[in-house]
């Protein structure tokens, strides 16, 4: 029987990219950002005025993706999902040309069981056809033709249109 297919986003689903941006911003400016206040705010509100350009510049740095932390339990759960489903990594990486190889390398390091055939680095995700898409961005889920699942991130707390997963144990409970 054909397995069901799951597309899994990378930044802020497997890799703590937003956390790294906040960490870099706080370090550069000697400040502590109020994460409670940032909840539910898109980037342009969470980083008002000139701050946005600074925050958005970090992922353009060549070594940004080398430093990203793996989300808790994602390696174990992904390993189990990989056995039962056809799992694909689908990451909108094309905006950041320097990220392409580091992203591939990051996956090889932290998720070595994922075959290169199952990795997609793209721009928009509207032409991706899988049964499920787990993603933190509503704009990726809006155009998706399968079952969309939003993965909780600071910026998407107020989004209510999609089934929500708050952590990898919830994903395990749904799929395994």
**What is the rounded CA–CA span in Å between residue 71 and residue 74?**
6
The tokens describing 133, both together, are: 């898409």
Q: Does 94 bind a second copy (CB under 8 A)?
A: yes
The tokens describing 145, both together, are: 């033709």
**What is the rounded CA–CA span in Å between residue 152 and residue 145?**
20
| Beta strand pairing call for 5-8 and 132-135 | parallel
Q: Does 145 bind a second copy (CB under 8 A)?
A: yes
Rule CB under 8 A: choose which of 120, 152, 167, 172 binds a second copy.
120
Rule CB under 8 A: choose which of 9, 22, 24, 130 binds a second copy.
130
CB of 142 to a second copy, least distance (A): 14
Residue 44 main-chain phi, psi, to 5 deg: -65, -20
Q: Is 9 labeled as catalytic in the residue annotation?
A: yes
Nearest to a second copy of 55, 90 (CB atom): 90
CA-based nearest residue to 13, from 103, 89, 104, 83: 89
Q: Does 74 bind a second copy (CB under 8 A)?
A: no
Rule CB under 8 A: choose which of 32, 49, 63, 115 binds a second copy.
115
Nearest to a second copy of 99, 156 (CB atom): 99
Q: Does 124 bind a second copy (CB under 8 A)?
A: yes
**What is the rounded CA–CA span in Å between residue 144 and residue 150?**
12
CA-based nearest residue to 112, from 100, 104, 120, 102: 104
Nearest to a second copy of 95, 163 (CB atom): 95
Active site residue ranges: 9, 11
Give the residues lining the site for a second copy (CB under 8 A): 5, 7, 88, 90, 94-95, 97-98, 100-101, 104-105, 115-124, 127-130, 145
């Amino acid at each position: 029987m054909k397995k069901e297919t799951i597309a899994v986003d990378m930044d802020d689903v497997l890799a703590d990219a937003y956390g790294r941006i906040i960490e870099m911003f706080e370090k550069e400016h000697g400040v502590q950002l109020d994460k409670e206040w940032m909840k539910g705010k898109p980037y342009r509100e969470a980083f008002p005025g000139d701050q946005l350009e600074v925050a958005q510049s970090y992922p353009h740095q060549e070594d940004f993706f080398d430093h990203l932390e793996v989300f808790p339990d994602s390696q174990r759960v992904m390993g189990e999902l990989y056995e039962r489903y056809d799992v694909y990594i689908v990451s909108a990486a094309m905006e950041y040309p320097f990220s392409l190889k580091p992203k591939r390398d990051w996956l090889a390091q932290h998720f070595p069981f994922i075959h290169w055939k199952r990795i997609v680095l793209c721009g928009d995700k509207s032409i991706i056809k899988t049964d499920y898409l787990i993603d933190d961005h509503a704009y990726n889920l809006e155009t998706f033709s399968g079952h969309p699942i939003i993965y909780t991130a600071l910026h998407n707390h107020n989004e209510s249109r999609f089934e929500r997963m708050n952590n990898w144990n919830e994903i395990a409970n749904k799929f395994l």
